[in-house]
Amino acid sequence: MAVWDDLVGQERAAAQLGAAAADADAFVTAESTRAGSAELSGSSMTHAWLFTGPPGSGGPSAARAFAAALQCVSPDRALRSGPGCGFCDGCHTTLVGTHADVEIVRTDLLSIGVKETRDLVRRAQMSPAGGRWQVIVLEDADRLTEGAGNVLLKAIEEPAPRTVWLLCAPSTEDVLPTIRSRCRNLALRTPPVEAVAASLVRRDGIEEGMASYAARATQGHIERARRLATDERARARRAAVLKLPDRVGDVGQALKAAQELIDAAGADAKEVAEELDASETEALRAALGAAEGKGSRMPRGTAGAMKELQDRQKRRATRTQRDSLDLALTDLTSFYRDVLARQLGSDVALANDEVRDVVERVAGSSRPEQTLRRIEAVLGCRDMLDRNVAPLLAVESMAMALRAG
């Protein structure tokens, strides 16, 4: 299995990255045999890439596959299939995240700051221990603060000779124009539903019926599809969200439904916190030299570090809650798209086939203009959350707008 198999439904991007990895390999080989005579400019390889694509199109997986191909040391890599065998030490360690020259940065916070970025830039300047490439994958480049973006810009403008930056963002608009203009853009598309379903069956061993349900329900969002297919709780959550359109007719029910959405998002955040916070806190206490046990006193001068961790945990909880709400809003939008398709007489397959009866009922009892206004109400809610309106307020106002239609 080659590393490109992970790029579900992205044949064009895989071809482009494959060509770049082959040129990168030729460059490394040339440099090691004839000192200093190799040239990167003019080839299909370059030092900075920006992977863009709608959520779920698999930017981070594509970046990781490319990183693996750059580190591929298979003796067959110069042959027709090119680097990226998926099996050799270079490919394998990159894919499992232990390659010494590949740093994968993903954040569970809403933003990446100047300090973290400076550390990365320092790391990027080191020569690759394995003699190939120093690769930095920044999965959430859209979360760089402006200051952090400027720190990164300097590093991208004058890259070390064997350093490669792989940035991922939803779209080119999500990164500073100055950074965007120095990166080669690799645009991914939303993969076709059938390709996602096939990948779930082949890669994850998921049964066919479940795979096609999950792929259809998430409309080509690979990670969400995998989660839906493997996690019963995710399916229950989705079912609850899809009941909302049926409940908003009554004011009391509408407000209750809004509160439930918020509670569910809060529960998700709490679960993540319970999983991570205590162990992080204990690890930090140990590192700072506190005696074992929860209640023991902390050594002098360590309050700042503890405070920093608590702030970080609080920010992570906010983001988890936001992500959870975001999923619910995505499901709702998709529901009303199905309603609209029915109202307009389109016979495309419903994304929310499991609630076909509700889709038909809402479609029969409202007009297309109402459906469009409802879709706008859901998108408006997301806008409000982006502008940091209190979540309950935003969701309540959405529920009321859905009701009025």
Other Cβ atoms within 10 Å of 192 Cβ, number: 13
Q: Output 47 or 132, the one with its CB closest to Zn ion.
A: 132
Residue written as token pair 């502008």: 387
Q: Output 17 or 91, the one with its CB closest to Zn ion.
A: 91
Q: How far is the CB of 207 from Zn ion (least distance, A)?
A: 31
Query: Of 67, 85, 121, 169, which lies in the binding site for Zn ion, with binding defined by CB under 5 A?
Result: 85
Which of these segments, 89-97, 98-106, 269-277, 303-311, binds Zn ion (CB under 5 A)?
89-97
Determine, following the binding rule CB under 5 A, whether residue 52 of this chain makes contact with Zn ion: no
Nearest 10 degrees: Cα torsion 24, 120, 319, 55 = -10
DSSP 3-state of 187: strand
Determine, following the binding rule CB under 5 A, whether residue 28 of this chain makes contact with Zn ion: no
With CA atoms as reference, report the closest residue to 114 among 138, 147, 137, 157: 147
Q: How far is the CB of 162 from Zn ion (least distance, A)?
A: 18
Q: Output 72 or 272, the one with its CB closest to Zn ion.
A: 72
| Number of H-type helices and E-type strands within the chain | 15, 5
Q: Output 72 or 378, the one with its CB closest to Zn ion.
A: 72
Determine, following the binding rule CB under 5 A, whether residue 88 of this chain makes contact with Zn ion: yes
Which of these segments, 82-90, 132-140, 150-158, 212-220, binds Zn ion (CB under 5 A)?
82-90
The rounded distance, in Å, linking the Cα atoms of 180 and 250 is 48
Length of the chain as a residue count: 405
Determine, following the binding rule CB under 5 A, whether residue 21 of this chain makes contact with Zn ion: no
Q: Output 86 or 149, the one with its CB closest to Zn ion.
A: 86
Is the C-alpha dihedral spanning 192, 82, 172, 269 positive or negative?
A: positive
Q: How far is the CB of 86 from Zn ion (least distance, A)?
A: 6
Listed in sequence order, the DSSP H helices in 206-354 are 208-217, 222-230, 232-247, 251-287, 303-343
Q: Output 72 or 198, the one with its CB closest to Zn ion.
A: 72
Segment (H or E) for 152? helix 146-157
Which of these segments, 79-87, 133-141, 188-196, 366-374, binds Zn ion (CB under 5 A)?
79-87
Query: Of 28, 45, 62, 91, which lies in the binding site for Zn ion, with binding defined by CB under 5 A?
Result: 91
Determine, following the binding rule CB under 5 A, whether residue 74 of this chain makes contact with Zn ion: yes
Judge contact between 36 and 43, C-beta under 8 A.
no
Tokens representing residue 244 in the block: 């909302």
Q: Output 22 or 378, the one with its CB closest to Zn ion.
A: 22
Tokens representing residue 156 in the block: 């991208």
Determine, following the binding rule CB under 5 A, whether residue 72 of this chain makes contact with Zn ion: yes
Binding mask 296-325 for Zn ion (x = CB under 5 A): ------------------------------
The rounded distance, in Å, linking the Cα atoms of 19 and 184 is 14
Of 249-268, which residues contact Zn ion (CB under 5 A)? none
39-62 burial code (b ≥16 CB/10 A, e <16): ebeeeebbbbbbbbbbebbbbbbb
Which of these segments, 29-37, 91-99, 339-347, 386-394, binds Zn ion (CB under 5 A)?
91-99
Q: Output 85 or 248, the one with its CB closest to Zn ion.
A: 85
Binding site for Zn ion (CB under 5 A): 72, 74, 85, 88, 91
